Every structure is written in structure tokens, then in C-alpha cells.
């Protein structure tokens, strides 16, 4: 199977859906003339023209609102935020318009649109450009929230998101656009709301999503050298969450660690912890452990970045703690 980059997988998904459906268009800062801030939309202006690949001013609230209005009128916009840190400027349109319009209109208006772009930290970018908002958006009824971890999942999930009749938050990572993976040339779709077991194991379950999956998988590989068998689950989507896959794994391993790039309060890991103890408490042989970011804005120094984020040593220690303490 061919190997392509994460950014290429996203581009293929958008290209294929735009060729299939003339109502799909892309709008955002630098998506056209500059070929995308991260070159995700490279070449799309040449193929689809300026009416479907639309450069915007630095005005997230404005072009997010245009997207909602376009979706209400039957189009299928893809709204790209250069980073989801900037989506805070547009959050009124996302939360109060896109997420609620179907209910508020009594079912008269679907909002078939995708808000996509990078989330979380990307190195030394400072406190205002290093935040993860997956759990914020997942808290809002009316939205679906997708956070892929690899090129194969990214393409299949983005195609599904574009075809969905509800608004989808599609969150990537600046540190993943160059990642490579196997992606088939034939068309495929991945359903929203179905987790994937990336590595099977028997001793402990690790649940994660997005770029932190790389940390979880690296930790599992390191632990395997010590004959510790780790099952690694990629949620893929955090609204809806595939609780069934997680709980079935916990029933097998009897231990659970959740790893995510988010502040600890009201995190996705907190929600999963609640659901697992509610539905599988008697199967647990150790307390559930979560590994999140530090409960502070991210500093600029590389030492701060390393300490702030989940890491392989933190995950390895957590696994040994739930096994042996």
C-alpha cells in the first residue's frame, strides 16, 4: 500500500469530496493563494477555482458565520481555522449558531459543515497558541468532535465528516502534518463514533487520541520489552465517545490509563473515568489513572513544554504503578 503524509491524506479527502459534490467548498485564511498555512490545500485553488477555495481576511467570527449561513442554504462548507486557538474568536457562531440551529429551527435547517484545523501544542508557541479544546467542543450538544491520529484515519474520517448533515469539529495537529502512513488509493469511509484498537494487550488498557497516540504507542512498545502487555485504544472521536470498546477492553485487562493533551478539569479522561467506574467498576483491579497536561498555561521554554505534556516516561510509570502498587 502507498505511503503518504497526513496533510496529503486530508487534501485527498477534500479533493475527492469536492469532485463528488459541487456544494462542498473550502474557506479560511491562506487556504487559496498560499496553498494553506500548512500546505494542506496545496493545488486546490488551481483545480476548483476561487469560488470554491476562498481566502478570507483575519476574521474568524465573520467567515465562520458565512459558513453557517451557507450550510443553512444547502451548501457544505469546510471552514479552516489556522489553529483552533483562533476559533475562540468564532466560538459564538460554532456554539450558538452551528450547534443549535437544527433544534432551534424545529428541524428545518441542517448544518452540514466541518470546522477543521490544528489543536494543541506545537512546540515553543507560547500560552495563547498551545491550547487543546477538544473537551470544550465535546461538551456542546449538536457538535461531533473528531481527532484523528494518523493519515489513514484522517482521510476516512474527514470524508465522513464532510458528508455528515451535522456540524463536525475536525481537529488535527501541526506536529502531525508531515507524519506518514499507509493510505489506500480506493475510496473508504470511517464511521464517526467508533474507536480503534491500535494494539492488543492483556495487562492494562491505555486510551488516547490525536497526536498523543504516538506517546501511548511508544510507551506500549517500551513496556513490551519488559513483558508487560498493553492494549492501546484510539478513540478517534471524542463526541460521540465509543464507551463500549473501552469498557470491553477494561473487562479484559482490569486496568485503565487515559492519556490526553488537555487540562485536567472536565477533561475527556474525566468523563471516561466516570463511565467506566459506572459500568465496569467490579472489573477494576486498580484505580483508573489519567495523564493530562499540567494545570497551567504553557510556558515558552522547551523545558516547560516537556514537563507540561504527557510523555513516554510518565505513561510507563503510570502503567507500572497500576500493575504493581
Q: Strand, coil or helix: what is 145?
A: strand
Candidates 17, 60, 260, 261; catalytic one? 60
User: Which residues face 5 on adjacent strands?
Assistant: 180
- The burial of 256, by beta-carbon neighbours within 10 Å (0-12 exposed, 13-18 middle, 19 or more buried), is given as buried
CB 85 within 8 A of CB 60: no
Q: Give me the sheet containing 204-208, strands edge to edge.
A: 196-199, 230-234, 204-208, 256-259, 289-291
Is residue 30 part of the annotated active site? The answer reads no
Q: What is the rounded distance in angstroms from the CA atom of residue 108 to the CA atom of residue 48?
A: 30
Cα–Cα distance list, 242 to 41, 139, 229, 274, 276 (Å): 31, 15, 22, 14, 12
Is residue 60 part of the annotated active site? The answer reads yes
Q: Strand, coil or helix: what is 320?
A: helix
Helices within 205-242 (DSSP H only): 213-224
Candidates 16, 30, 129, 248; catalytic one? 129
The residues near 75 (Cβ < 8 Å, ≥ 6 apart) are: 23, 24, 25
Cell of 87: 476559533
Catalytic machinery residues: 60, 129
Amino acid at each position: 500500500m502507498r505511503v503518504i503524509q497526513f496533510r496529503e491524506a486530508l487534501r485527498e479527502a477534500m479533493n475527492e469530496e469536492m469532485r463528488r459534490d459541487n456544494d462542498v467548498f473550502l474557506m479560511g485564511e491562506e487556504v487559496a493563494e498560499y496553498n494553506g498555512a500548512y500546505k494542506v490545500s496545496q493545488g486546490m485553488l488551481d483545480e476548483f477555482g476561487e469560488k470554491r477555495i476562498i481566502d478570507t481576511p483575519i476574521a474568524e467570527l465573520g467567515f465562520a458565520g458565512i459558513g453557517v449561513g451557507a450550510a443553512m442554504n444547502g451548501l457544505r462548507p469546510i471552514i479552516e481555522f489556522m489553529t483552533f486557538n483562533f476559533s475562540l474568536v468564532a466560538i459564538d457562531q460554532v456554539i450558538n449558531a452551528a450547534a443549535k440551529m437544527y433544534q432551534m429551527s424545529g428541524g428545518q435547517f441542517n448544518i452540514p459543515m466541518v470546522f477543521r484545523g490544528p489543536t494543541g501544542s506545537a512546540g515553543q508557541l507560547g500560552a495563547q497558541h498551545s491550547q487543546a479544546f477538544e473537551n470544550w467542543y465535546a461538551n456542546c450538544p449538536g457538535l461531533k468532535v473528531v481527532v484523528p491520529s494518523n493519515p489513514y484515519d484522517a482521510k476516512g474520517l474527514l470524508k465522513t465528516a464532510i458528508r455528515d448533515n451535522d456540524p463536525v469539529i475536525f481537529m488535527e495537529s501541526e506536529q502531525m502534518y508531515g507524519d506518514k502512513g499507509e493510505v489506500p488509493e480506493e475510496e473508504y469511509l470511517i464511521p464517526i463514533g467508533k474507536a480503534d484498537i491500535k494494539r492488543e494487550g492483556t495487562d492494562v488498557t491505555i486510551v488516547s487520541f490525536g497526536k498523543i497516540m504516538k506517546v501511548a504507542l511508544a510507551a506500549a512498545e517500551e513496556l513490551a520489552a519488559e513483558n508487560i502487555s498493553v492494549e492501546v485504544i484510539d478513540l478517534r472521536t471524542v463526541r460521540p465517545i465509543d464507551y463500549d470498546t473501552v469498557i470491553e477492553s477494561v473487562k479484559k485487562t482490569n486496568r485503565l490509563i487515559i492519556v490526553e493533551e488537555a487540562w485536567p478539569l472536565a477533561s475527556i479522561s474525566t468523563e471516561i473515568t466516570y463511565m467506566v467506574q459506572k459500568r465496569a467498576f467490579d472489573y477494576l483491579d486498580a484505580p483508573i489513572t489519567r495523564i493530562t497536561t499540567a494545570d497551567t498555561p504553557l510556558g515558552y521554554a522547551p523545558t516547560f513544554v516537556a514537563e507540561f505534556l504527557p510523555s513516554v516516561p510518565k505513561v510507563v510509570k503510570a502503567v507500572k504503578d497500576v500493575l504493581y502498587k
